[in-house]
Amino acid sequence: MILSGMASSSVTRRPGLVVVGEFFLDLIFYALPDLPRLGEEVKTRHFAQLPGGGLATTSLVASRLGTPTAAIARVGADARSSPAWRTLEDNGVSVDACEFSPSLPTARTVCAAFNGDRMMITHDVINQHLEKLLSRPAGQQALRRAKHVHLACALWPIPTWLSWINRLRTRGLSVSADIGWNPEMFKSPGLPRLLQQLEFLFPNEIEARAITGEKTTERALRKLADVVPVPLIKLGQRGSMAIENRKMVEVAPLPVRSIDATGAGDAFNGGFLHAYLSGWKLEDCLRAGNVCGALATTGAGGSSVLPSATKLRKLMSRLKTNSGEMTRRTTNRRTIG
């Protein structure tokens, strides 16, 4: 449930967030002079090696903002010596519930960022049956300290994950998910039943239209409202929109100079969930997500620019103050008929 006020940042201990999902070691080439083509080589002076995937970015953003956060993932033993993996611990994310495989390598992704978008190639043999991590004693211990569980992975097969989501809800936990681009899952007749058990779903425009079969983003949001209690859609450079209590809410973005869109959606998730667990109203949850998502695009990967709680609130206030000077209102409410 979204509360009506904006909580003070002086709260010393908020309810815990557990993020379950896939971890990747990202090799990011950005500010490319041109798109790479087969048979050609493109050189750039801009490169970063960072933690990647929805689990890492969402966890890092939420933890940096002050939300106690634990990650549940499976990585290879090689991750122990990786600076990218240590970034999680350095930023206060608990990794006690993660599993280290002695035989499989940590998943890796090569990202090529160009003109505000990116392409990726991934090697991944380790992120299978992640739901089994929830049964481990360390996973159970993390869940006992949590109020909310965010699933940053494809929830496939649906019956297996639906069973787990129901168990989490029975324990009094709220659950959200970002399932990414998964056409097979989008077409499954079991998907609506799973979505009904989520507090939030975090698709972008393309994913939302694919999930619903609708041709416009607004119609996709309305259709999602039939199954998800608080549906929302990330609009990239146009901000975000959601429906709560039959009211459609649109929140404008934070204008920034973007260099790499990798992980921006996951950064949005971290900001939104921090605000949600802080008891903020829906517009402020969306606004926090917009700020974190926008800042993520100003550096390589989604986790190289992590705002503090103070900076988040300052930028959110600036968005509100400047809303009258923008081409459209920062928040626009419409009743769904």
Place of tokens 């029975």: 170
* Per-residue pLDDT tens listing for the chain (337 residues): 555 455 444 333 445 999 999 999 999 898 899 988 899 999 999 998 999 999 999 999 999 999 999 999 999 999 999 999 999 999 999 999 999 999 999 999 998 888 877 788 999 999 999 999 999 999 999 999 999 999 999 999 999 999 999 999 999 999 999 999 999 999 999 999 999 999 999 999 999 999 999 999 999 999 999 999 999 999 999 999 999 888 899 999 999 998 888 889 999 999 999 999 999 999 999 999 999 999 999 988 878 899 999 999 999 998 877 754 343 433 455 555 5
pTM score, two decimals?
0.90
**CA-to-CA distance for 155 and 211, rounded, in angstroms?**
14
Strand partners, 52: 24
Give 145's contacts (C-beta < 8 A, 6+ positions apart).
Answer: 16, 18, 68, 70
**CA-to-CA distance for 317 and 174, rounded, in angstroms?**
28
Give the CA angle between residues 50, 55, 59 to the nearest 5°: 85
**CA-to-CA distance for 132 and 323, rounded, in angstroms?**
46
Give the CA angle between residues 210, 112, 91 to the nearest 5°: 90
The CATH T-level fold of domain 16-21+52-103+129-335 is UDP-N-acetylmuramoyl-L-alanine:D-glutamate ligase (3.40.1190)
Cα distances from 293 to residues 107, 251, 253, 290, 306, in angstroms, run 23, 13, 9, 5, 10
Among 232, 205, 213, 42, CA closest to 119: 42
